Structure 1
Amino acid sequence: MARPKSDDKRNALLLAAEQVFAERGLAAAPTSAISKQAGVAEGTLFTYFRTKDELVNALYRAIKLELADVLMSHFPRQGPVRDRLEYLWNAFVSWGVANPQRLNVLDQLSVADIVTEESKAVGYEPFAEIEALALYSIETQVLEAYPCEFIAATMKALAETTMGFMSAFPDEADRYRKVGFDVFWNGVARHSA
């Protein structure tokens, strides 16, 4: 009779994959290095994940769902759009500063060809409410009529720049957090002429 799989081992393998991907990059990370980092035999990895692709997809989903929980669990569903976006901003930059390795790996996974459409859909679903808020804000002329994908990419790029400054200058982290959001907001908010 086969032994039951352990959540602890599965989680250790996911964490090891994250560490190895952060150090070596996705393409240069063999499963043997992931197994070694997790402290298990390589065959054990394949007990939990049939292929490296399956491991990559599981890690992508795990990170996206963790981030969704951080951003959406206390997301204010009412109130001014600016306040709601600032909440998301603050939650995201706090998570990114606290988890730079995980953010690095998420960036790699987000552009990896081996992440399936199904995994992308699972990773996107908890964030659909943010896209709906952006579309509503464009319709009601709170935000400029830029494509939602562009607004999201701009927010992510400015947030990652902000995270870099917050990490480099921890005594001024709150200042950079606020300045970063102000730059984002002033770039996407509709201003009366």
Structure 2
Amino acid sequence: MAKPKSEDKRNAILAAATQVFAERGLSAPTAAISSEARVAEGSLFTYFKTKDELINALYRTLKLELSDAMMSGFPRKQGVRHRLEHVWNGYVDWGSAHPEGQLVLRQIQVWGGLTEEVKAATAAAFGEFDRIAEDAAEQRVFRDMPMPFIWAALVSLADMTMEFTRRQPEQAAEYRAQGFALFWAGVARK
């Protein structure tokens, strides 16, 4: 009879994969992940049939953690600016607290091996962004720019803000507020 899978062991493998991929990139061998997780290499493949499956599971896990951080206490009835600032704060706080996770998410996003199932599941977790974009367009809150360009600006400025926050954590709140103010000044109509 097969031994039941342990959620703790699965989580240890995912945590180890985050650490190893952050240090060595997605090409890091699974043996390094198994070693970091302190499991036999064969155990990794008990939980994830292939390295691609592991990477997809890790992406899904990290994106759902990020979504939880960004959407906790989300002010659905507030205006676009207030909702977007809430999302910004959650994103910057999560990325500042989890630099390895943030780095690995960026690596996986350009990897090209995400399954449609994982893309759909993670997109659903961020559905509130679509509503913010729809409300912003309807209310003509943003300048005439493509929405993907606006989201890319948000991510780039948030990444910069996280980097400053990691260097000077005592100024985290100030950097977070200044970063959002810079983003808003660039995309909002006057």
TM-score by length of 2: 0.96
Distance in 2 of aligned mates of 1:6 and 1:67: 24
Q: Secondary structure at the match of 1:144?
A: coil
Q: Which amino acid aligns with 2:25?
A: G
* % identical aligned pairs: 55
2:80 and 2:136 in contact (8 A); partners too? yes
Q: What displacement does 1:19 show?
A: 0.8
1:80 maps onto 2:75 in alignment: no
Q: Which runs of 4+ in 1 moved over 3 A?
A: none
1:90 and 1:177 in contact (8 A); partners too? yes
2:84 and 2:132 in contact (8 A); partners too? no
What are the ranges of 5 or more consecutive residues in structure 1 without an aligned counterpart? none
Which residue does the alignment assign to 1:160?
159
Distance in 2 of aligned mates of 1:127 and 1:36: 33
Q: Which amino acid aligns with 2:9?
A: K
Q: Secondary structure at the match of 1:34?
A: helix
Aligned residues: 190
What are the ranges of 5 or more consecutive residues in structure 2 without an aligned counterpart? none
1:138 and 1:145 in contact (8 A); partners too? no
Q: What CA deviation, in whole Å up to 9, does each residue of 1:16-65 have, x standing for no partner?
A: 111110110002x1111111111111111111110000000000000011
Q: What displacement does 1:5 show?
A: 0.4
1:20 and 1:37 in contact (8 A); partners too? yes
Alignment of 1:40-79 (within 5 A): 40-79=39-78
2:92 and 2:161 in contact (8 A); partners too? yes
Q: What displacement does 1:143 show?
A: 1.4
Distance in 1 of aligned mates of 2:137 and 2:4: 51
Distance in 2 of aligned mates of 1:170 and 1:72: 23
2:91 and 2:158 in contact (8 A); partners too? yes
Q: Secondary structure at the match of 1:106?
A: helix
Deviates more, 1:169-178 or 1:148-157: 169-178
Which residue does the alignment assign to 2:100?
101
Which residue does the alignment assign to 1:143?
142
Which residue does the alignment assign to 1:7?
7
Which residue does the alignment assign to 1:31?
30
2:83 and 2:132 in contact (8 A); partners too? no
Which residue does the alignment assign to 2:133?
134
Q: What displacement does 1:135 show?
A: 2.3
